[in-house]
Amino acid sequence: MESLSKREAFFKNEPPTAKFDPTTRDKLDHKMDKEKENGHPETSGKAPKELDGYVGFANLPNQVYRKSVKRGFEFTLMVVGQSGLGKSTLINTLFLTDLYSADYPGPSYRIKKTVQVETTQVLLKEGGVQLRLTVVDTPGFGDAVDNSNCWQPVTDYIDSKYEEYLNAESRVNRKTMPDNRVHCCLYFITPSGHGLKPLDVEFMKRLHDKVNIIPMIAKADTMTPDECREFKKTILNEIAQHKIKIYEFPECDDEEENKLQKKLKDRVPFAVVGSNTLVSVGGKTVRARQYPWGIVEVENLEHNDFLALRNMLVRTHLHDLKDVTNNVHYENYRYNKLASVATKGKEKAVGSKELNLETAEDEDSGEKYYSVFFSLHKYGI
């Protein structure tokens, strides 16, 4: 996609605050004109109108690109798992930065009597793109002797963020609403090799229709590839058995991309190893864990699935996670909240990823209520 490379060039060659170069724009114009003269405009299945020359709205994606870069991005990531599973190390490895350090210790060092939900906000900048990353962690999760309801603070937190957004959206005077909703939850599974623990199942069952869950197998260097494969199969079977809906990476339009992505998609749940120490392997310095018997490279797909996780999570589907949160999970929450008001407390757990809400009388009456509401006001009631 030549437009893609143009955008990359735009940001790679020049410093972030470069002015838009009119000469490159002219080049693009002439290229387009030539296309029009030589070739013929595409005809899609729906046969949209053919244009007899270059109009220029093909520049719309660039306009969107420009505006989004100016605005910056924000993302909230939640990490859940028992202490000592390597969550902080993985986050540091994933974002190649010292989110958790001696001054800002990870969740395993901050365990209190009850499960807490705490957030850390960092501003990252790469290639001119600014990302405000909020990492939510849950120190104390699953660490007590009695872990009943240890997911309650987590669900409460997620719901409170949705509530905040709903209130901000429903105000009469709306300003730009910061999006603090949790976009993704990385759930760390202990590498027992046997299957999911009851706590894992309970947690996922309660959160799968509130947030995008990506299950991960922590400390994957304790399992051989065969054990890992078996473990993944068991986990996926149990997930299907309990009807837990984990986040599904969507299909891509491009065939080639699809094939590449499928290979990575098949590795869910991702078995990851994290490390921020550099070790020199075969002439290169890579992130790795050094054992007496060998070196586990973090960014080697044969050693673990870290690259798959990073590529799918950060490089390809970061925005899709936000979209699914906004279009599916948030809408579910909003629907349940408002429908319970309209039909007096009858809450329906609606939700599948495709927003396949079954029609029921409640919904119709709720919708009808709003339209009645409006027409009443039209007539001054």
**Residues 174-203 close enough to bind another protein by CB under 8 A:** 174, 176
* Closest to another protein by CB, 186 or 228: 186
Rounded to whole angstroms, the Cα distance separating 357 from 379 reads 32
**Helix orientation angle between 2-13 and 22-38, rounded to the nearest 10 degrees:** 170
* Closest to another protein by CB, 233 or 262: 262
* Closest to another protein by CB, 129 or 240: 129
* Closest to another protein by CB, 229 or 368: 368
Work out how close the CB of 226 gets to another protein at its nearest, in angstroms, rounded to a whole number: 30
Q: Are 283 and 258 in contact (CB under 8 A)?
A: no
Q: Among 199, 279, 295, 338, which residue sits at the site for another protein (rule: CB under 8 A)?
A: 338
The binding track of 218-257 with respect to another protein, each residue x by CB under 8 A or -, is: -----------------------------------x----
By CB under 8 A, what part of segment 112-141 binds another protein? 117-129, 131-132, 134
Work out how close the CB of 70 gets to another protein at its nearest, in angstroms, rounded to a whole number: 5
Work out how close the CB of 177 gets to another protein at its nearest, in angstroms, rounded to a whole number: 11
Burial of 78 (0-12, 13-18, 19+ CB in 10 A): buried
Q: Among 114, 149, 160, 280, which residue sits at the site for another protein (rule: CB under 8 A)?
A: 160
Work out how close the CB of 201 gets to another protein at its nearest, in angstroms, rounded to a whole number: 27
258 touching another protein, by CB under 8 A: no
Per DSSP, the three-state class of 337 is helix
Tell me which residue of 204, 159, 152, 158 sits closest to 182, measured CA to CA.
158
* Closest to another protein by CB, 163 or 227: 163
By CB under 8 A, what part of segment 307-326 binds another protein? 310-311, 314-320, 323, 326
User: How many CB atoms sit inside 10 A of residue 307's CB?
Assistant: 19
* Closest to another protein by CB, 222 or 276: 276
Cis peptide before 269 (omega within 30 of 0): yes
Looking at 66-128, which runs of residues are DSSP E strands?
Answer: 73-80, 118-126
13 touching another protein, by CB under 8 A: no
Rounded to whole angstroms, the Cα distance separating 285 from 334 reads 49
Work out how close the CB of 233 gets to another protein at its nearest, in angstroms, rounded to a whole number: 29
Q: Among 15, 22, 198, 345, which residue sits at the site for another protein (rule: CB under 8 A)?
A: 22
Q: Are 131 and 125 in contact (CB under 8 A)?
A: yes
Residues 6 or more apart whose CB falls under 8 angstroms from that of 239 comprise: 196, 204, 215, 246
Q: Among 80, 95, 211, 269, which residue sits at the site for another protein (rule: CB under 8 A)?
A: 95
360 touching another protein, by CB under 8 A: no
Q: Among 15, 38, 40, 42, which residue sits at the site for another protein (rule: CB under 8 A)?
A: 42
Q: Among 59, 155, 234, 300, which residue sits at the site for another protein (rule: CB under 8 A)?
A: 59
Work out how close the CB of 272 gets to another protein at its nearest, in angstroms, rounded to a whole number: 15
Q: In terms of C-beta distances under 8 Å and separation of at least 24 residues, what long-range contacts does 141-145 make, across chains too?
A: 141/80, 141/81, 141/82, 141/83, 141/115, 142/81, 142/82, 142/199, 143/82, 143/83, 143/111, 144/115
Rounded to whole angstroms, the Cα distance separating 239 from 246 reads 8
Q: Are 205 and 240 in contact (CB under 8 A)?
A: no
15 touching another protein, by CB under 8 A: no
Work out how close the CB of 217 gets to another protein at its nearest, in angstroms, rounded to a whole number: 22
Rounded to whole angstroms, the Cα distance separating 379 from 190 reads 62
109 touching another protein, by CB under 8 A: no
Distance from CA of residue 148 to its chain's centroid? Answer: 28
Contact region with another protein (CB under 8 A), list: 200-208, 219-227, 258-266, 364-372: 364-372
| DSSP for 211-227, written as a single string | S-EEEEESSGGGS-HHH
The binding track of 140-159 with respect to another protein, each residue x by CB under 8 A or -, is: -----------------x--
347 touching another protein, by CB under 8 A: no
